[in-house]
Amino acid sequence: MSDKMLNDGVILIDKNEGESSFDVVRKVKRLLKEKKVGHAGTLDPFATGLLIILLGQGSKLSQYLMSGKKRYLATMTLGIETDTLDKTGKVVKTAPVPELDKDGVKDLVKDFTGDIEQTPPAYSAVNLNGQRAYKLARQGIAVDLKKRVVTIDSIDIVSVDLPHVVFEVVCSGGTYVRSLAADMGGRLGTAAHLSSLRRLASGRFEVRDALDSRKLTAGEDADAVRSRMISLSDALPDMREVKADLETVKRICNGIRPSWSEIAGPDQSLDGYKGHIKVTHGSSLKAVIEVDRTFSDNEWLRNIRVFI
């Protein structure tokens, strides 16, 4: 087992307005002199807030981190719709803003909670026939994006100061708050675009625990930044943990599928469990395995991702 694990994990960054998610990745690469750096969950340049940076083998955690619930603080400006559905776009529609108060807005948007259908914005990173939708949109090519089902856990109207409505939303990964704002504007009897967006939380991680991206400059203390790294195992706080002995870990890392009894053991029952488990040895993450008992007994453990 490699000591490189000590350099693998995630760092929470509070991204500032005007920089892209890749700008933050580039800063981290330069400061920490790390080659393999990525992120989980893109934030548009106009947006701010929590960006989860992945270091080394932390990149393997992306799919698990991105699937968690997200919490945003957003401002939608009524009366104006843009082609990007946010403040960076060109105005494509204007409409009168009706007289609305906080209770009225709450009542009109209450149906947007639960599982809803949503069409991604034309200016989005959705893959369309091998190309990103935003690249086609910038060329003036019409894009036909399919609706998808997203889950909105809650929408809390924070304030109404027309034409601005501030709201906090908790939603599933893959939700476009820009589309939500435009759709809610339509329900309110007008047009709308997103004029500010701040990601407050992703899964169990919160922006209040993040490092300001302005501190990721060449003059900063790289060791101080690295000291804020969250280990691979701790980066998956909600995933079921199974502790394995060294021999089992070696077999998994060598590409051998473990048996159910090797993983579950006499004291770690997984009866009725379905989902992902993290296999650890000591304090280190060694593998993430999907448990799917709809398959035969010797295939319950699937999609094994190894950390060495």
Calculate the dihedral angle through the C-alpha atoms of 132, 138, 139, 141, rounding to the nearest 10 degrees.
Answer: 70
Mean pLDDT of the chain: 88
222 & 244 share domain: no
Same-domain pairing of 44 and 153: no
* Per-residue confidence (pLDDT) for residue 127, from 0 to 100: 64
Encode pLDDT of 222-249 as tens digits: 888 999 999 999 999 989 888 888 998 9
Q: What is the pLDDT of residue 265?
A: 62
What pLDDT shows up at residue 1?
Answer: 40
Which of 14, 44, 86, 183 is catalytic? The answer is 44
* Residue 111 is assigned to a structural domain of this protein: yes
Pair (82, 187) in one structural domain: yes
Instruction: Indicate if 78 and 176 belong to the same structural domain.
Output: yes
Residue 294's pLDDT is what? 66
The CATH code of the domain that includes 287 is 2.30.130
Full domain range(s) for residue 128: 70-202
| Pairing mode, strands 9-15 and 48-55 | antiparallel
Low-confidence ranges of the chain (pLDDT < 70): 1-6, 122-131, 133-137, 139-144, 218, 264-272, 293-299
CATH of the domain at 197: 3.30.2350.10
> Does residue 221 carry a catalytic annotation?
no
Verify that 92 and 154 share a domain, yes or no. Answer: yes
